[in-house]
Chains A and B, each alone.
Chain A
Amino acid sequence: VDLTSKLRILADAAKYDASCASSGAKRSNSSGKKLGSNSGCGVCHSYTPDGRCISLLKILLTNYCIYDCAFCVNRISSDIPRARFTTDEIVGLTLDFYRRNYVEGLFLSSGILQSPDYTMEQLIAVARALRSEHSFGAYIHLKAIPGASPLLLEEAGRWADRLSANIELPTQSDLDQLAPEKKVPLIEGTMHQIRAKADESRAERKKHRRAPRFAPAGQSTQLIVGATPTTDSVILRTADRLYSNYSLKRVYYSAFSPIPSPDSRLPLSAPPLLREHRLYQADWLLRFYDFSIEEVTETSDLDADHDPKLAWALRHREFFPIDVNRASREALLRVPGLGYRNVDRILGIRRYHRLTLADLGKLRAALTRLKPFVVTADFNPDALALDRLDLGDRIVPPMQLGLFDAGAVLSANTGEL
């Protein structure tokens, strides 16, 4: 198999991993001898027609795999072409793409060959070659293979900026149905190891500035949404537990997407993109808006018609209206249509100026969603609608759902509008 075919097969096989971040790990190049650096903020070098960014050369080392996870295109029973890169091929592609400014670095995952340890060793070999033989200073994301030995994880974290072990599905019973070889304790054991090594390295570096860093961009994970009937509240509780137990930087939610050679146990439909979007919104409420897990899981599934913050506000009218000129930061964060950046702007502005409704428009806040829930310096007639039973429909008329980006995406698959 030639390099082009390998790249086609192994990029195709890697694309179902949603992780794309290249941020969070500052690596400077003050000596000027290295190839590549990382400013700490990610760069998206291109966008594909699915609207997702290309930041890293995202590939598998190989799509041969000994496991038979029903949702995975690379499972052993899948009828697809197989390939395996050599270390040198990946190193060469990474350097060549990086020098031309196509990518910020490498995302390397793999099917499981022989054993978790063997597979982890192969991934480490690539990262080690890039860092030590080619002075590669840019971003590297390695998959942490669940069950790999602690020594191997330690070495992986020495070369990589980010490590990720995928939880894949939200509960053990989901895994039992679709990925019988995967065990939650094994996956979380790997996450625990990564966290422990990262904490250790941070403590060391407080004592000795030159102590080696361990995966400075932290760890992330991914879980697939819509392959099993598990509800949003179970998914979010899993995510919340992973965030707090293992200091994850991100949980990625990946709408289950039809794959070549699919298993008959799986849903034959377009990926639930709107649901994925709502899960990300709820995830952000947990991480940036001071919502508790109980608050975002008051209903077993998230509301499709309203974003989770609006849905919470509709359920908790007693909390509103909020006076934008007096309310605390915590209260402002609860207002639908108001992002946390705008909350901070409002706090800055109102020291010198009383905000009107028009001012909120100038901040490009989502006025339709926001108006019924706030009091401003001028008269806001929409605040009178707060007690109306049909408030939710007034804000998002039911007919408009199809106009949502995610809705439009769904229909684009079938060509219908």
Chain B
Amino acid sequence: VREIFISSTFVSWQCAARELLHGGVSPAEIIWHERPAAQASLFTRESDRPITRSPDGPILRVPKRFIEIARRVARHRDSRKWALLYSILWRIVRQNRNLLAIRVDDEVSRLLRMHWEVGTDAHRMKALLRFQRVREDNEEIYVAWYKPDHYVVPLVAPHFTDKFASMRWAIFTPDCCAHWDGKAIRFSAGVDRRLAPQGDELEDLWRTFYRATFNPARLSLKTMRSQMPVRFWENLPETDTIADAVREAPETVEGFIGRSRKQPS
């Protein structure tokens, strides 16, 4: 059995995997460990070196789709991803180049599940992150604190740089922070929630809108919770109005109906 130490990045895994593959080391022989690396490794930009380029040995061709999936899966919080990625890589090269098409294969289905989870988490961060405006040296800066499930900050950062290009903003997460000064993106180490700003003057207006746009005649809490999981609520100012809205809903609707019954027809 070989113990392989990598830092927690796609590139680090890629380098190790390339050597192991050339050496003919089978997945069963490997135990993967993540080096307690400098935190910086979580958010460094990764180079685009393909697995196919190897200094020695035959050229290994891997479907582009695998690399795309692997890059994303590398951002999953479950460290079993490294062994899974290698096992699938091994089988693609040795058994079936089209392995990824067989979604019902146990390993492929686990891989695609992880891929989906990272994608969902990234999308959710685009949706559920809330900026708060603060003033710093007479300049407006929009600051958000957010706790993603996976290491998705670098994946999501381009979305925010495109969307909020003309603003100065910063996103704080426990894993890593992103800072945009209007020209360039910079990443730094993660921070604690206590460093996040507390409240924004617009939040009450936002709560007003949230409350008013809710239709009390169509209560469906299950759908709401499945789309907006409760663990994210601490970050969403509007959610503290939910309890009241739900409690008052039946009475409000009964009120509409009752009022109309009293009208002469």
A interface, CB within 8 angstroms of B: 3-4, 7-9, 11-12, 14-16, 28-29, 31-37, 39, 43-54, 57-59, 93, 96-97, 99-102, 135, 138, 255, 257-264, 266, 268-271, 273, 345, 348-349, 351-353, 355, 359, 362-363, 405, 408-409, 412-415
Contacts and interface: CB of A to CB of B under 8 A. Distances in A.
B167 interface: yes
Contacts of A415: 250
B64 interface: no
B261 interface: yes
A384 B108 CA distance: 32
Contacts of B224: 47-51
Interface residues of B, number: 69
Contacts, number: 208
A412 B212 contact: no
Nearest to A360: B104
29 contacts: A7-B212, A15-B212, A15-B213, A15-B214, A29-B165, A33-B166, A35-B165, A44-B127, A47-B223, A49-B220, A49-B221, A49-B246, A49-B249, A97-B209, A100-B132, A101-B131, A102-B202, A255-B218, A257-B215, A262-B259, A263-B260, A268-B257, A269-B257, A271-B217, A349-B101, A351-B101, A408-B222, A409-B220, A413-B249
Given A11-B213, A100-B206, A264-B263, A35 B167 contact: yes
B166 A35 contact: yes
A4 B104 contact: no
A49 B214 contact: yes
A258 B236 contact: no
B131 A100 contact: yes
B219 A16 contact: no
Contacts of B163: 29, 36-37, 138
B202 to A, nearest CB: 5
Interface string B61-74: 00000000000000
A360 B105 CA distance: 12
Interface in B99-116: 101-105, 109
Q: Which of B102, B200, B213, B259 has the most CB of A within 10 A?
A: B213
